[in-house]
Amino acid sequence: MSLHLVPVKWREACAFIDAVHRHHGPPHAYNFAVGVADSESLRAVAIAGRPVSRMLADGWTIEILRVASDGVVNGCSMLYGACWRAAKALGYRRAVTYIQDGETGASLKAAGWRKVADLPANPGWDRPSRPRAKLGTENVARERWEITTADYEPGRGLPRFPDGGSSVDRQLSLLGEAS
């Protein structure tokens, strides 16, 4: 059985995660998704997107929001590696992801990632100012893992153009000029 990477559409990735992920449903948004398949079927998927934490959303960082597998050997490692290669090709300098306390991180280690933080259990996201439904993952400690390029500098902003705008501002203005 030979495994290979395949592009995965949003709905297909979400359906796969709904079917096999142990403790989360699909995320609410994404930048891209990738899958691992054998000759017969899709065996694992990963979804990458904007970091959930505002503190990590520096424009250079992408978060691997979900990885789900039917248990295929090496599938998750292939996905973490593929997501990082794709992210670098898109200009990202850092990727982060989280695992629950008690998970080994073997797939992340195999793909070259490193553990950077132990995070305490959180009682959940529900607050009086913004009610949230319980997910079943409350009160579980987590670990944050990351991988970076050699030139990544925490706190460095996105490139600026001579007029003071960011690369994103410039792209948006060019889109406006084209219409």
The Cα–Cα gap between 11 and 42 comes to 13
Query: How distant, in Å, are the alpha carbons of 32, 58, 80, 106, 148 from that of 152?
Result: 22, 11, 19, 24, 6
Per-residue pLDDT of the chain (179 residues; tens, 9 = 90+): 699 999 999 999 989 998 887 667 666 778 999 999 999 999 999 999 999 888 899 999 999 999 999 999 999 999 999 999 999 999 999 999 999 888 899 999 999 999 999 988 877 666 788 777 766 666 678 899 999 999 988 877 776 666 655 656 655 666 666 54
Instruction: Determine the pLDDT at residue 120.
Output: 86
The Cα–Cα gap between 146 and 97 comes to 6
Closest CA to 138 of 102, 98, 100: 100
Instruction: Determine the pLDDT at residue 171.
Output: 59
The Cα–Cα gap between 13 and 11 comes to 5
- Structure-token pair, residue 9: 């559409």
Domains of the chain, earliest start first:
4-178 (3.40.630.30)
